[in-house]
């Protein structure tokens, strides 16, 4: 039986496990009506078992779930009183996104959220991370609350709760209100700290009675570097006037600075309004692994690079100041934290580290460069290239997951929640649906990354709180439009109903974690297990970069 063979409307998908055995899943279109009939009425929000499950092989109960973000899935960009965002403007500007694609409709989550919740239920998923669209709640970014927007998120939260799915809310996942951008340029102005804290306060007041798991800002290191450094994401600011109509040197650093202060200000309000909740910023962090582990110079270079990138945002959050490596490289360009700001950061620390991890690299010492400008590569000293995903910045390097969890634990001594981990599989844009559904590449990525995280917990004592796969659904992948599919559920963009299909990865994740949805089990187990330990993380690849994004992302 080959992966992707079709029987009627179904794809029979044999998925290989790390131990060599095979599980066979049946993949088909998600049918909301049939699902509703099978699921029946839930136990009711009050009667749900704890959303912290105990995954196979772990010591502790975890939050296990999938994640999305408002602009990437909601669509309905002019409905329900929603104001305009910087991503509306950016994606409507010719030349900024793949084939000029935008999030006007996205995957229509705004209208289809009930079906998508039922879909999660069929997989037994008990946790869902999503973001609020700031402009649905405050169309101008500040001022009058839009009751239609509030009603949408109330319905979403209440439907999730009734389905025994715990909401985990991100306040800001890159869709900044255009009205505020026009007023003062967003994250590069001190007014954003006040406005973000006021928006956060509104959200905590509106939803904090039911939602206890919150995130402030999604990956400042991504939106600051890509939006205000290279200019390849909204609002598209950079110093190169042939590509960006606005932007000055150092804005990316200012953006991180004000993001840290906005985060701490929101945490301060949160402690008052949701005293029984938890909150963190999410950070995109990769691992710099020494190219030559026997070379002291490479080991030191990798450590410097790791502190420079991994500590970029977390150092200020935990120490109230920039890390030494950042100070050495940027000098006067770094906005200084005043004593009051330092106190704000230290007095309003987050509850855990929310890690978003996709890719890593090898770092080595280059004697011709200043010591802090470390070179990196995706090829090992043995000449083995890391496998490249469909996204040019993403190289598969699973063993670095364990290294990274250990590095974070040693540096910050905090527990860690993995809030994003996932991959785009090569060729998914062009391949026929039947082949894309049986996504062994994505399954293998999850298997190896999760297995390395499990080793970090079991052998190294890392405190892991949970794991969210990115993403529940294929969606609008920012400047790459719909050309990259990170979903564990496939979207048929050519169908009028934006039909959802199970991919092998959604079924595998559900089955691997022992979830108990009506679609959690394989149809058959093969007995061809070869036994032995999990496969080591190596493989090849390594085409050159998609210039700006690659450069910025490889720094993570
Ligand atoms: C993350 C981001 C997500 C998604 C993912 C894959 O950095 O938070 O929105 O785009 O990368 O590129």
Q: Is 504 in contact with 438 (CB distance < 8 Å)?
A: yes
CB-count burial class (<10 Å; 0-12, 13-18, 19+) for 7: exposed
- Evaluate if residue 8 carries a pLDDT over 70: no
3-state secondary structure of 57: coil
Q: Which atom of ligand 1 is nearest to the CA of 422?
A: 6
Distance of alpha carbon 31 from alpha carbon 39, whole angstroms: 12
- High-pLDDT (> 70) share of the chain, %: 92
Q: Residue 531 — pLDDT band, cuts 50, 70, 90?
A: very low
Distance of alpha carbon 303 from alpha carbon 297, whole angstroms: 10
Residue nearest to atom 12 of ligand 1 (CA): 477
Model pLDDT, residue 3 = 44
Q: Which residue has the tokens 């062009």?
A: 430
3-state secondary structure of 13: strand
Residue nearest to atom 4 of ligand 1 (CA): 477
Q: What count of Cα atoms within 13 Å lies in the side-chain half-sphere of residue 87?
A: 30
Tokens standing for 388?
A: 């490249």
Count other C-beta atoms under 10 Å from residue 535's C-beta: 16
Tell me the per-residue pLDDT of 124-150, one tens digit each, with 9 for 90 and over.
Answer: 999 999 999 999 999 999 999 999 999
The CA 420 to ligand 1 mean position distance, Å, reads 8
Q: Give CA separation, 484 vs 62, 71, 129, 392, in Å.
A: 29, 15, 20, 10
The question of whether 420 is a catalytic residue gets the answer: yes
62-67 and 464-470 as β-strands: parallel, antiparallel, unpaired?
Answer: parallel
Mutate to test the pocket of ligand 1, among 69, 73, 221, 470 (most ligand atoms within 8 A of CB): 470
The CA 357 to ligand 1 mean position distance, Å, reads 10
Q: Is 163 in contact with 118 (CB distance < 8 Å)?
A: yes
Q: Which residue has the tokens 């179904």?
A: 10
Global pTM reads 0.94
Question: Average per-residue pLDDT in the chain?
Answer: 92
Tokens standing for 281?
A: 């910023």
Mean pLDDT score, 507-536:
71
Mean pLDDT score, 345-356:
98
Name the DSSP class of 104.
S
Tell me the per-residue pLDDT of 298-336, one tens digit each, with 9 for 90 and over.
Answer: 999 999 999 999 999 999 999 999 999 999 999 999 999
Mutate to test the pocket of ligand 1, among 282, 388, 472, 478 (most ligand atoms within 8 A of CB): 478
Residue nearest to atom 7 of ligand 1 (CA): 284
Q: Residue 45 — pLDDT band, cuts 50, 70, 90?
A: low
Q: Where are the alpha helices (DSSP H) in 283-439?
A: 296-319, 324-330, 339-347, 399-412, 433-437
The question of whether 297 is a catalytic residue gets the answer: no
Distance of alpha carbon 446 from alpha carbon 64, whole angstroms: 13
Q: Where are the alpha helices (DSSP H) in 370-439?
A: 399-412, 433-437
Model pLDDT, residue 59 = 67
Length of the chain: 556
The CA 549 to ligand 1 mean position distance, Å, reads 12
Model pLDDT, residue 538 = 26
End-to-end CA distance of the chain: 40
Q: Which atom of ligand 1 is nearest to the CA of 222?
A: 7
Q: Directed axis angle between helix 440-460 and helix 399-412, to 10°?
A: 40
Q: Which atom of ligand 1 is nearest to the CA of 218?
A: 8
- Evaluate if residue 550 carries a pLDDT over 80: no
Model pLDDT, residue 522 = 84
- Evaluate if residue 9 carries a pLDDT over 90: no
Count other C-beta atoms under 10 Å from residue 144's C-beta: 9
The CA 222 to ligand 1 mean position distance, Å, reads 9
Distance of alpha carbon 374 from alpha carbon 304, whole angstroms: 8
- Name the active-site residue from 219, 221, 251, 325: 219
The CA 517 to ligand 1 mean position distance, Å, reads 27
Residue nearest to atom 10 of ligand 1 (CA): 477
Distance of alpha carbon 2 from alpha carbon 167, whole angstroms: 38
Model pLDDT, residue 540 = 24
The CA 39 to ligand 1 mean position distance, Å, reads 31
Query: Is the link from the previous residue into 235 a cis peptide, with omega within 30 of 0?
Result: yes
Q: Which residues contact 443 (CB under 8 A, 6 or more apart)?
A: 15, 16, 504, 505, 508
Range among 181-190, 371-380, 519-528 with highest mean pLDDT value: 181-190
Q: Which atom of ligand 1 is nearest to the CA of 470?
A: 5
Distance of alpha carbon 3 from alpha carbon 440, whole angstroms: 8
Least confident of 39-53, 353-367, 421-435: 39-53
Q: Which residue has the tokens 């995903």?
A: 389
Residues with CB under 6 Å of ligand 1 are 69, 72, 218-219, 222, 284, 356, 420, 470, 477-478, 486
- Evaluate if residue 542 carries a pLDDT over 60: no
Q: Which residue has the tokens 């709180």?
A: 465
CA dihedral 289, 294, 298, 301 (to 10 degrees): 70
């Amino acid at each position: 039986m080959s992966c992707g063979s079709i029987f009627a409307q179904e794809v029979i998908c044999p998925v290989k496990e790390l131990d060599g055995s095979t599980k066979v899943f049946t993949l088909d279109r998600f049918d909301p009506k049939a699902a509703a009939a099978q699921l029946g009425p839930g136990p009711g929000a009050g009667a749900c078992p704890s959303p912290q499950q105990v995954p196979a092989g772990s010591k502790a109960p975890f939050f296990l779930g999938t994640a999305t973000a408002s602009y990437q899935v909601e669509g309905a960009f002019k409905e329900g009183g929603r104001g305009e965002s910087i991503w509306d403007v950016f994606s409507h500007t010719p030349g900024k996104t793949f084939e000029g694609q935008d999030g006007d409709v996205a995957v229509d989550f705004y209208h289809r959220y009930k079906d998508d919740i039922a879909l999660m239920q069929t997989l037994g998923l008990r946790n869902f991370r999503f973001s609020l669209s700031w402009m649905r709640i405050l169309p101008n970014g500040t001022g009058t609350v839009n009751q239609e927007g509030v009603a949408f998120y109330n319905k979403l939260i209440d439907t999730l709760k009734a389905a025994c799915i715990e909401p985990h809310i991100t306040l800001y996942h890159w869709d900044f209100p255009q009205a505020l951008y026009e007023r003062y340029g967003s994250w590069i102005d001190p007014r954003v700290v006040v406005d973000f804290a006021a928006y956060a306060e509104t959200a905590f007041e509106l939803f904090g009675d039911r939602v206890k798991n919150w995130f402030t800002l999604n990956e400042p290191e991504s939106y600051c570097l890509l939006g205000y450094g290279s200019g390849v994401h909204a609002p598209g600011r950079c110093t190169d006037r042939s590509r960006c109509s606005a932007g000055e040197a150092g804005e990316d650093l200012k953006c991180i600075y004000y993001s840290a202060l906005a985060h701490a200000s929101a945490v301060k309000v949160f402690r008052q309004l949701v005293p029984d909740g938890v909150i963190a910023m999410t950070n995109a962090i990769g691992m710099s692994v020494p190219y030559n582990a026997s070379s002291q110079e490479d080991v030191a270079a990798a450590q410097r690079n790791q502190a420079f990138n991994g500590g970029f945002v977390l150092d200020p959050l935990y120490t109230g100041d920039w890390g030494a490596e950042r100070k050495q490289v940027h000098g006067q360009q770094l906005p200084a934290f005043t004593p009051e700001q330092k106190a704000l950061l230290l007095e309003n620390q987050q509850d855990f580290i929310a890690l978003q991890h996709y890719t890593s690299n090898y770092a080595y010492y280059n004697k011709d460069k200043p010591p802090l400008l470390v070179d990196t590569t995706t090829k090992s000293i043995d000449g083995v290239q890391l496998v490249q995903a469909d996204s040019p910045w993403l190289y598969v390097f699973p063993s670095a997951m364990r290294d990274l969890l250990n590095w974070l634990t040693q540096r910050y001594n905090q527990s860690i929640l993995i809030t994003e981990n996932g991959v785009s599989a090569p060729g998914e844009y062009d391949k026929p649906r039947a082949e894309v559904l049986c996504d062994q590449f994505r399954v293998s990525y999850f298997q190896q990354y999760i297995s390395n995280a499990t080793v970090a917990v079991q052998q190294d004592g890392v405190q892991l709180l949970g794991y969210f796969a990115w993403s529940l659904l294929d969606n609008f992948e920012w400047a790459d439009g719909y050309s990259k599919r990170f979903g564990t559920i496939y979207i048929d963009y050519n169908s009028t109903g934006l039909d959802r299909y199970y991919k092998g990865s959604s079924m595998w994740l559900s089955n691997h974690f022992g979830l108990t949805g009506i679609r959690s089990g394989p149809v058959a187990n093969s007995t061809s297990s070869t036994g032995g330990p999990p496969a080591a993380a190596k493989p090849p690849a390594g085409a050159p970069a998609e210039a700006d994004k690659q450069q910025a992302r490889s720094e993570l």
